[in-house]
């Protein structure tokens, strides 16, 4: 271990420049991003997910698609496999197709933090949903948490499920006051077992004085996302579900009352089609591409830390996130040896090394003790935002869909995949709150994300105003 707390010759000007690069969110060419005096990259550094050391998505044995299937599912992530498993349980045959290796998307790249609704109804562009409107969504988000927890236990999925709670740090005093208003709603509607933590007691939750207090959600967990995916994949394969890798769906067309699902390897005739492509939704489904906005999220993993040091950073092993618009989220690795630190560091396209440097400054802003600790992994993946900032399932143009995790989809996309199948099979006695007739689009949005850096600038400015002017 080479942890050198306090020894990092961290230059305040470099720090400011990095923040400037970040505030501007312009395409700052790498040559203008200052090289840190001590390089932050470990000699074993890998630009790929830390989770892939535990399970790496790989192609499945090569095979042609079947000629027919009752249901064709596009996308083999949590949503697609969850839908397929429920179809199999109900005796309906399904084929799952992925353009890449199954699990290539967000499902093996995420932070592994599972909460039952803390971010549902939170909105960046509009006022938060009023309690009566938010309640049904929170009820279903709580159900999503129960669903994943029960399934992992029932199916004995080995994925380091740890119900250690979640600490949401308030970026400013105003955010803390807003949390106070939200606690009762979360407890009443999402069974969150939430409570406020004043700034004076924050050190009981996190080894940092960065926040202005926060909120604990007791009913929250973290897991190893790639091992959770591996568990779903293994279950699907054991139950004989047909899953094809590296077979992109290129075109969907109606054929009588069924669908023709075209791929480079052949065409499938399917009774129903489920779109489960989330942040990787592409041209095969333009009607969905213009309803979800893919946004890159980035993560770094530190080298191994001593048990004492790790315990000081996160004494209760919670998942941690903050209320900034440019949010960060972090947790210890399942063995509690590394900090896994993520955020929306950049809103435009960037490479993971450039972003790793930005994330490093965010991390050491929160934990100055980590200056000098090197990072071993850095990676990215796409999340899918929707225009009303809510997840969606339903039917559009006769296509079923489960889309729009809005950044929190481990429990939610698993649940929406399952709910989509229940809808197809006609086995629901209650409509899921996320199954709404409207899935908003916008005449000026066609799936092109040229505007995201401008949103990044707006978010950073609002964050700065909240903390520095509004307090
Ligand atoms: C960096 C990062 C951190 C995150 N952290 C968290 C977290 O801590 N907690 C949390 O709850 N959520 C988190 N998320 C979100 C979570 O990972 C996603 O919500 C979830 O994985 C989405 O699962 P999915 O099955 O809907 O889609 P994905 O897993 O993204 O799968 C979509 C699949 O569709 C395939 N595809 C696309 N187009 C086609 C086509 N035409 N034909 C065939 N296949 C196609 C892709 O190859 C891909 O494999 C994070 C996401 C990222 C990227």
Closest residue by Cα to atom 41, ligand 1, is: 249
Cα 437 to middle of ligand 1, angstroms: 23
Closest residue by Cα to atom 3, ligand 1, is: 110
Q: Decide: 100 and 93 in contact? Cβ < 8 Å.
A: no
Q: Distance (Å, rounded) from C-alpha 241 to C-alpha 89? A: 10
Residue 277 has pLDDT above 90, yes or no: yes
What is the mean predicted confidence (pLDDT) over 304-313? Answer: 98
Cα 388 to middle of ligand 1, angstroms: 19
From the list 392, 403, 383, the residue with the least C-alpha distance to 432 is 392
Residue 408 has pLDDT above 90, yes or no: yes
Q: Ligand 1 pocket test: which of 58, 113, 265, 277 has the largest number of ligand atoms within 8 Å of its C-beta?
A: 277
Residue 127 has pLDDT above 90, yes or no: no
Q: Is the CB of 112 under 6 A from ligand 1?
A: yes
Residue 427 confidence (pLDDT): 66
Cα 383 to middle of ligand 1, angstroms: 6
What is the mean predicted confidence (pLDDT) over 115-125? Answer: 76
**Helices 131-154 and 173-189: angle between axes, nearest 10 degrees:** 70
Q: Decide: 225 and 381 in contact? Cβ < 8 Å.
A: no
What is the mean predicted confidence (pLDDT) over 46-54? Answer: 97
Residue 468 confidence (pLDDT): 87
With a CB cutoff of 8 Å and minimum separation 6, the contacts of 425 are 86, 87, 90, 92
Centre a 10 Å sphere on the Cβ of residue 91 and count the other Cβ atoms it contains.
8
Residue 38 confidence (pLDDT): 55
Q: Is the CB of 84 under 6 A from ligand 1?
A: no
Closest residue by Cα to atom 17, ligand 1, is: 106
Residue 83 confidence (pLDDT): 98
Residue 459 confidence (pLDDT): 86
Q: Is the CB of 275 under 6 A from ligand 1?
A: no
Closest residue by Cα to atom 32, ligand 1, is: 277
**Helices 225-238 and 78-89: angle between axes, nearest 10 degrees:** 30
Cα 97 to middle of ligand 1, angstroms: 14
With a CB cutoff of 8 Å and minimum separation 6, the contacts of 178 are 128, 323
Strand partners, 96: 73, 243
Predicted TM-score (pTM) of the model is: 0.92
Cα 225 to middle of ligand 1, angstroms: 11
Cα 167 to middle of ligand 1, angstroms: 24
pLDDT band at 22 (very low <50, low <70, confident <90, very high): very low
What is the per-residue pLDDT across 335-391, written as a single tens digit (0 to 9) for each?
999 999 999 766 776 788 889 999 999 999 999 999 999 999 999 999 999 999 999
What tokens does 215 get? 């909120």
The alpha carbon of 462 is separated from its chain's Cα centroid by a whole number of angstroms, namely 23
What is the per-residue pLDDT across 427-471, written as a single tens digit (0 to 9) for each?
677 899 999 999 999 999 999 888 888 888 888 888 888 888 887
What is the mean predicted confidence (pLDDT) over 192-204? Answer: 97
What tokens does 368 get? 């100055």
Residue 4 confidence (pLDDT): 33
Strand partners, 266: 263
Q: Is the CB of 249 under 6 A from ligand 1?
A: yes
What is the per-residue pLDDT across 72-118, written as a single tens digit (0 to 9) for each?
999 999 999 999 999 999 999 999 999 999 999 999 999 999 988 77
Residue 6 has pLDDT above 60, yes or no: no
Residue 1 has pLDDT above 60, yes or no: no
Q: Is the CB of 413 under 6 A from ligand 1?
A: yes
Q: Ligand 1 pocket test: which of 95, 105, 233, 382 has the largest number of ligand atoms within 8 Å of its C-beta?
A: 105
Residue 469 confidence (pLDDT): 84
Cα 317 to middle of ligand 1, angstroms: 25
Q: Ligand 1 pocket test: which of 51, 86, 106 has the largest number of ligand atoms within 8 Å of its C-beta?
A: 106
Q: Is the CB of 99 under 6 A from ligand 1?
A: yes
What is the mean predicted confidence (pLDDT) over 393-408? Answer: 96
Residue 20 has pLDDT above 50, yes or no: no
* Mean pLDDT of all residues belonging to the chain: 90
What is the per-residue pLDDT across 132-191, written as a single tens digit (0 to 9) for each?
999 999 999 999 999 999 999 999 999 999 999 999 999 999 999 999 989 999 999 999
Residue 452 confidence (pLDDT): 84
Q: Is the CB of 223 under 6 A from ligand 1?
A: no
Q: Distance (Å, rounded) from C-alpha 118 to C-alpha 111? A: 15
Atom of ligand 1 nearest to the CA of 382: 53
Q: Ligand 1 pocket test: which of 52, 107, 318, 356 has the largest number of ligand atoms within 8 Å of its C-beta?
A: 107
Q: Is the CB of 302 under 6 A from ligand 1?
A: no
Stretch among 202-216, 251-265, 429-443 having the lowest mean pLDDT: 429-443
H/E/C letters for each residue in the chain?
CCCCCCCCCCCHHHHHHHHHHHHHCCCCCHHHCCCCCCCCEEEEEECCCHHHHCCCCCCCCCCCCCCEEEEEEECCCHHHHHHHHHHHHCCCCEEEECCCCCCCCHHHCCCCEEECCCCCCCCCCCCCCCHHHHHHHHHHHHHHHHHHHHHHHHCCCCCCCECCCEEEECCCHHHHHHHHHHHHHHHHHCCCCEEEECHHHHHHCCCCCCCCCEEEECCEEECCHHHHHHHHHHHHHHCCCEEECCCCCCEEEEECCEEEEEECCEEEEEEEEEECCHHHCCCCCHHHHCCEEEEEEEEEEECCCCHHHHHHHCCCCCEEEECCCCCEEEEECCCCCCEEEEECCCCCCCCHHHHHHHHHHHHHHHCHHHCCCCEEEEEEEEEEEECCCCCEEEEECCEEEEECCCCCCHHHHHHHHHHHHHHHHCCCCCCCCCECCCCCCCCCCCCCCCCHHHHHHHHHHHHHHHHHHHC
Q: Is the CB of 178 under 6 A from ligand 1?
A: no
Atom of ligand 1 nearest to the CA of 100: 47
Q: Ligand 1 pocket test: which of 72, 75, 229 has the largest number of ligand atoms within 8 Å of its C-beta?
A: 75
Q: Is the CB of 113 under 6 A from ligand 1?
A: yes
Residue 26 has pLDDT above 70, yes or no: no
Residue 414 confidence (pLDDT): 98
Residue 17 has pLDDT above 50, yes or no: no
With a CB cutoff of 8 Å and minimum separation 6, the contacts of 193 are 187, 217, 218, 219
What tokens does 334 get? 């399942």
Q: What are phi and psi of 283, to 5 degrees?
A: -70, -15
Q: Is the CB of 393 under 6 A from ligand 1?
A: no
Q: Decide: 421 and 280 in contact? Cβ < 8 Å.
A: no
Q: Is the CB of 343 under 6 A from ligand 1?
A: no
Atom of ligand 1 nearest to the CA of 225: 17
């Amino acid at each position: 271990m080479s942890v050198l707390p306090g020894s990092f010759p961290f230059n305040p000007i470099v720090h400011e420049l990095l923040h400037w690069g970040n505030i501007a969110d312009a395409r700052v060419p790498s040559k203008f991003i200052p090289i840190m005096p001590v390089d932050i990259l470990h000699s074993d550094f890998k630009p790929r997910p830390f989770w892939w050391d535990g399970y790496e998505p790989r192609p499945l044995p090569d095979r042609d698609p079947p000629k027919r299937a009752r249901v064709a599912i596009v996308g083999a992530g949590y949503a697609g496999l969850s839908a397929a498993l429920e179809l199999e349980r109900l005796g309906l045959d399904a084929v799952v197709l992925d353009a890449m290796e199954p699990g290539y998307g967000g499902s093996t790249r995420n932070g592994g933090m599972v909460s039952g609704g803390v971010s549902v109804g939170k909105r960046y562009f509009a006022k938060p949903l009023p309690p009566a409107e938010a309640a049904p969504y929170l009820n279903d988000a709580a159900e999503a948490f129960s669903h994943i927890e029960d399934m992992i236990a029932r199916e004995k999925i080995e994925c380091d499920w740890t119900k250690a709670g979640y600490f949401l740090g308030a970026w400013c005093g105003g955010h803390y006051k807003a949390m106070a208003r939200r606690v009762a709603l979360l407890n009443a509607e999402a069974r969150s077992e939430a409570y406020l933590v004043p700034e004076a007691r924050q050190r009981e939750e996190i080894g940092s004085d960065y926040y202005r207090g926060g909120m604990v959600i007791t009913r929250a967990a973290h897991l190893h996302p790639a091992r959770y995916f591996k568990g779903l994949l293994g279950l699907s394969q054991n139950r004989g579900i047909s899953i094809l890798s590296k077979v992109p769906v290129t075109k969907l067309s109606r054929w009588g009352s069924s669908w023709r699902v075209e791929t480079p390897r052949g065409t499938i005739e399917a009774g129903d089609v489920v779109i489960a492509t989330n942040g990787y939704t592409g041209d095969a489904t333009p009607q969905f591409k213009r309803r979800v906005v893919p946004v890159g999220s980035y993560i770094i993993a530190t080298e191994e830390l001593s048990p004492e040091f790790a315990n000081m950073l996160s004494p209760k092993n919670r998942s941690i996130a903050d209320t900034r618009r440019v949010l960060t989220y972090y947790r210890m690795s399942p063995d509690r040896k590394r900090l896994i630190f993520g955020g929306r560091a950049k809103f435009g396209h960037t490479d993971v090394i450039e972003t790793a440097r930005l994330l490093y400054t965010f991390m050491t802003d929160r934990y100055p003790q980590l200056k000098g600790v090197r990072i071993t992994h850095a990676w990215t993946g796409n999340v899918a935002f929707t225009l009303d900032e809510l997840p969606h399932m339903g039917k559009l143009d006769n296509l079923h869909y489960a889309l729009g995790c809005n950044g929190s989809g481990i429990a939610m996309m698993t649940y929406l995949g399952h709910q989509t199948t229940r809808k197809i099979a006609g086995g629901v006695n209650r409509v899921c709150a996320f199954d709404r007739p409207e899935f908003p689009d916008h005449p000026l949005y066609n799936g092109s994300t040229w505007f995201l850096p401008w949103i990044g600038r707006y978010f950073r400015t609002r964050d700065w105003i909240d903390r520095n002017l509004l307090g």
